[in-house]
Amino acid sequence: MDPFYVGFAMSVYQCSGDEKGSPSNWGHWNDTWKTMFGRTKIAGGRTCGESNDFWNLYKEDIDRAAEMGSNAFRLSLEWSRLQPKGNGQDFDSKAVSRFHEILDYLIEFKKMEPFLSLHHYVHPQWFESLGGFTKRDNIRYFVDYCTAAYKEFGSKVKFWCTFNEPGVASFAGFIHGSFPPGKLMRFHGYGMHLRNMLIAHTEAYDAIKSLPGASSSSIGIVHNWFWFEPVKPGSCCWFTPPYVTCMANLLNRMWGNDILIRYLNTGEFDYNPLWGLYGRIQYTNPGGKPGCDHFGLNYYSRGLMDWKLAASKNPGEMMTDMPYALYAEGIFKALEGISVLNIPIYITETGVADSGDSVRPVMIQTYMSAIEQAIRAGHDIRGVLYWSLVDNFEWAFGYTMKFGIYEWDASSQQRLCRQSGQLLKHWFKRLVQLSAARPVPAVMNS
């Protein structure tokens, strides 16, 4: 029986950037550094660069994770590093060797279970130039990459996810404009992109499972469970303006919690952002319910809006450096929504942006307490991975958001553990001990 997994989550791109000569969609996005309105795409006009250089300093960082009591470590394969020159090309031998070295160090030297993401927002620029996931014909390139990756690394990795947060990639890329390709309010484009990513998940899952030895691998998908609400009346004005409720409803319809769960549970995709007025996209998977062995839950909070449609908080809540407040209770809402799938749940990300390390202890205590309560209540949670180990590149926010348990000095590449690290270490130990004493819930076949 698998242990309860605790540890850290990270993406190699956010902690290493692109390899020279291996351009990604995000590397290209960095380089073309202004939008059509003249604004920098990344906060402060920054680019990712080499970030905290995990690519070369991975041993030291994995050692730090081990010292915190980790028995698992989530990271991403980087398609752009592995296949920089186009579909059908052999994987880059240097990139393959380095990923093997990272996995071997995790498994053999530190006895950690790797959780491997095949796509964490980043893909080769050649794939983006072909239209990326906006074109259904391009799905075959992703499936080819996934099968080649499994053939190369499958003997070492049990836990895989096809996509990290396909809803966020689609929302930020086609509604908010903060991710490549940087489109604004493209309702139809969002729906097509999300649909194609879910079809790509299905086809990649089936292709991998057809390979020798893959039947024992657990292949899932990761979703950021987030939703929007108006602030409580009295927080900013004595009533909730109807347009705020309408905007929250619109954003919830586009974010995709219900869309993803319905697709995974039935094979039916129904994107209907404007109540049937425009942009509705429907699709039914020919094979019915798609394959998904586990669900990766990324949970941070929910978004509250005031009468100006600006980020806000309710009285008594603690704001983070991101545009939302702490909300540990929301974990139960997420688990309730996921439970209909009746598959194991791994909390693949939770954490907080907090440069002063004053909010982080509250986040760790309240969120981990909520997770403990959920485990005691019988939710099939089998692991918790904290985002993140070291401060890193936070996409359009650049280097302004400090999610790391370790503070990072960019000028020297030094890391310094924040005081809240000891509290997280305590909770890792506590959750492992709690879960060791409980039976694993049965998962019914459907």
The H or E element spanning position 95 is: helix 93-104
- Cβ–Cβ < 8 Å for 404, 396: no
| Mean pLDDT across the chain | 94
Confidence tier at 33 by pLDDT (50, 70, 90): low
What is the residue type of 201? H
How far is Cα 232 from Cα 229, in angstroms, rounded to an integer? 9
Per-residue pLDDT tens for 158-211?
999 999 999 999 999 999 999 999 999 999 999 999 999 999 999 999 999 999
Q: Which residues contact 230 (CB under 8 A, 6 or more apart)?
A: 240, 241, 244, 245, 248, 304, 305, 306
Q: Residue written as tokens 């997420």?
A: 334
DSSP of 224-278: E---EEEPPTTSSSSS--HHHHHHHHHHHHHH-HHHHHHHHHHSEEEE-TTTTSS
| CB-CB contact of 304 with 325 (8 Å) | yes
The string of pLDDT tens digits covering residues 231-274 is 998 766 677 899 999 999 999 999 999 999 999 999 999 999 88
- Long-range contacts of the stretch 172-177 (C-beta < 8 A, 24+): 172/395, 172/396, 175/254, 177/35
Rounded CA-CA distance 280/27 in Å is: 32
Q: Which residues contact 265 (CB under 8 A, 6 or more apart)?
A: 289, 340, 341
Cβ–Cβ < 8 Å for 100, 114: no
For the stretch 371-399, pLDDT in tens is 999 999 999 999 999 999 999 999 999 99
CB 343 within 8 A of CB 443: yes
Tell me the pLDDT tens digit for each residue of 101-110. Answer: 999 999 999 9
- Per-residue pLDDT of 305-327, as tens digits, reads 999 999 999 999 999 999 999 99
How many CA atoms are closer than 13 Å to the CA of 421, on its beta-carbon side? 21
CA gap 404, 313 in Å, rounded: 23
